């Protein structure tokens, strides 16, 4: 983002100005709308359909139009769009034709970020939301009064965002469409780098180049914190200076005396004992997330005891192993995992929880991801004791290559596949019993199944 764009955005963000947000109910658009409303702007927005959750926006006096129509722009000084809204969107096209400035969501977040002394930006193919939430728990426990932007719901905040009054912003930072290149981090966290979003990136090298650019956004007096155990991350940051966290003792931040379920350990920072962790959340992947959070807290001068208390209070973010209830004696959880490596990490963690049988209802997310990572999905989807597949969630895509979940089911022994969520829910009710855990997994609307079977709908 060039200086001219920055100045244009700043000129539009004054009290009394009218900003219209296209795709306002997105996970980072909704908090942006509220942050801007709290700054004194008049905010309106639009969504494709009325199924989107608008209750929080309505409480703030933010009207939402359903359907994208040029008439929705009436009186707008600028338009802010989600990455999924392209130039052929009727509102975007009308704004451009009328000379109304159009900005990307990430650009606006980036400009807001420049107003904070400390901008902690958390990136990585996996674990962004959880790590951002963990850092938030620590900073809240330490009474640092941060502003927060998370791509998910955090029970501590009862939202995915928080407007603080201190000098720190904590922001989840997504690589899709190079969005995080618009940010201005003083502390950049990179959890890991993996092949994903191949509808935008060419290949792994292209993804690594994007993360390297993100790291290079940090000023000389800032800090990059990265996973020292992840080969893809190390390759991407080769030649750059950064602080390493990981399980290996060669990392500046690492654990000692790790429990078998990865929930308890001593954390060592810079060769010294920093804190003792007792995590409520399971899995090696969550220990990595916690180590990244500890690295940030340590470098930001937060006492280790406060960090430990903050992490001990973290029971998960929304849709990250979120407990939903009981179905015929089976415990039902929901998780956002939508990449093969995330799915494998989830299953490894659940295996340590002592259930007799793991039943997974999985909804693949986007046709491009399913096609690009098909063989990896075939491998990891054999890990549950029983797999039930929903149809692929299209999200922003069209099914150009006629790929369906049934193709996965054909390769996985014992898997069953349903075209509709009500059919899938009925099947889960018929097989669930005491000693089982049912996981609804995916980044689409599969969570509705867990809610339905618990409510006996």
184 and 223 co-located in one domain: yes
Give the CATH number of the domain where residue 420 resides.
3.90.190.20
Choose the final residue of a domain: 57, 83, 106. 106
Rg (CA), the chain: 22
The answer to the question of residue 360 being in a domain is yes
306 and 186 co-located in one domain: yes
244 and 296 co-located in one domain: yes
50 and 162 co-located in one domain: no
Give the CATH number of the domain where residue 31 resides.
3.40.50.720
Domain that holds residue 334: 322-454
pLDDT of residue 456: 58
Report d(CA 31, CA 33) in Å as an integer. Answer: 5
Choose the final residue of a domain: 85, 106, 127. 106
Report d(CA 390, CA 404) in Å as an integer. Answer: 9
CB 100 within 8 Å of CB 72:
no
CB-based burial, 428-439: b 16+ in 10 Å, e otherwise: beebbeeebbbb
pLDDT per residue, tens digit, the chain (457 aa), is 778 799 999 999 999 999 999 999 887 888 899 889 988 999 999 998 776 678 878 888 999 999 999 999 999 999 999 977 889 999 999 999 999 999 999 999 999 999 999 999 999 999 999 999 999 999 999 999 999 999 888 999 998 888 898 999 999 999 998 999 999 999 999 999 999 999 999 999 999 999 999 999 999 999 999 999 999 999 999 999 999 999 999 999 999 999 999 999 999 999 999 999 999 999 999 999 999 999 999 999 999 999 999 999 999 999 999 999 999 999 999 999 999 999 999 999 999 999 999 999 999 999 999 999 999 999 999 999 999 999 999 988 999 999 999 999 999 999 999 999 999 999 999 999 999 999 999 999 999 999 999 965 4
147 and 30 co-located in one domain: no
The DSSP secondary structure of 174-193, one letter per residue, reads --GGGGGGG---SEEEE---
Residue 375 neighbours by CB distance under 10 Å: 9
160 and 297 co-located in one domain: yes
pLDDT of residue 34: 87
Q: What is the DSSP letter of 241?
A: -
Domain count, the chain: 3
165 and 298 co-located in one domain: yes
3-class SS letters over 342-394 = HHHHHHHHHHCCCCCEEEEEECCECHHHHHHCHHHHHHHCCCCCEEEEECCEC
408 and 342 co-located in one domain: yes
141 and 253 co-located in one domain: yes
Q: What is the token pair recorded at 187?
A: 């502390």
The answer to the question of residue 428 being in a domain is yes
Report d(CA 130, CA 285) in Å as an integer. Answer: 10
If you search the block for the tokens 């295996």, which residue do you land on? 351
211 and 191 co-located in one domain: yes
Q: What is the pTM of this model?
A: 0.90
346 and 446 co-located in one domain: yes
Q: Does residue 37 sit in helix, strand or coil? A: helix
The answer to the question of residue 370 being in a domain is yes
133 and 22 co-located in one domain: no
């Amino acid at each position: 983002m060039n200086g001219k764009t920055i100045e244009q955005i700043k000129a539009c963000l004054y009290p009394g100005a009218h900003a219209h947000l296209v795709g306002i109910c997105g996970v980072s658009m909704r908090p942006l709308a509220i942050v801007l409303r709290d700054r004194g702007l008049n905010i309106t927005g639009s969504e494709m359909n009325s199924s989107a959750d608008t209750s929080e926006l309505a409480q703030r006096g933010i009207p939402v139009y359903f359907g994208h129509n040029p008439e929705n722009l009436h009186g707008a000084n600028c338009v802010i769009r989600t990455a999924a809204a392209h130039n052929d969107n009727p509102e975007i096209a009308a704004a451009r034709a009328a000379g109304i400035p159009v900005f990307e969501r990430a650009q606006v977040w980036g400009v807001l970020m420049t107003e904070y002394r400390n901008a902690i930006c958390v990136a990585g193919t996996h674990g962004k939301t959880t790590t951002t939430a963990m850092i938030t728990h620590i900073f809240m426990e330490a009474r640092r009064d941060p502003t927060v932007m998370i791509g998910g719901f955090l029970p501590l905040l009862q939202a995915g965002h928080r407007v603080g009054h201190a000098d720190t912003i904590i922001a989840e930072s997504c690589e899709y469409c190079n969005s995080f290149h618009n940010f201005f981090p003083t502390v950049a966290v990179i959890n890991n780098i993996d092949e994903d979003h191949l509808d935008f990136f060419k290949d792994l090298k292209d993804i690594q180049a994007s993360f390297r650019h993100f790291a290079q956004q940090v000023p000389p007096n800032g800090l990059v914190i990265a996973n020292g155990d992840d080969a893809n991350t190390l390759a991407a940051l080769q030649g750059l200076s950064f602080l390493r966290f990981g399980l290996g003792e060669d990392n500046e931040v690492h654990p000692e005396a790790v429990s078998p379920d990865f929930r308890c350990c001593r954390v060592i920072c810079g060769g010294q004992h920093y804190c003792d962790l007792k995590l409520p959340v399971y899995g090696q992947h969550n220990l990595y997330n916690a180590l990244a959070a500890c690295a940030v807290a340590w470098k930001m001068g937060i006492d280790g005891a406060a960090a430990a208390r903050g992490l001990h209070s973290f029971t998960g973010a929304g849709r990250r192993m979120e407990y939903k209830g009981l179905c015929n004696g089976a415990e039902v959880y929901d998780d956002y995992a939508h990449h093969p490596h995330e799915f494998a990490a989830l299953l490894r963690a659940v295996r340590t929880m002592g259930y007799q049988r793991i039943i997974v209802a999985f909804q693949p997310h986007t046709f491009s991801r399913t096609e690009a990572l098909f063989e990896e999905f075939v491998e990891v989807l054999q890990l549950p004791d029983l797999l039930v597949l929903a149809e692929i969630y299209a999200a922003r895509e069209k099914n150009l290559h006629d790929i369906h979940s049934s193709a996965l089911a054909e390769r996985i022994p014992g898997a069953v596949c349903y075209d509709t969520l009500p059919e899938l829910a009925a099947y889960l009710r018929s097989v669930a019993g005491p000693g089982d855990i049912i996981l609804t997994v995916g980044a689409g609307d599969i969570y509705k199944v867990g809610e339905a079977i618990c409510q006996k709908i």
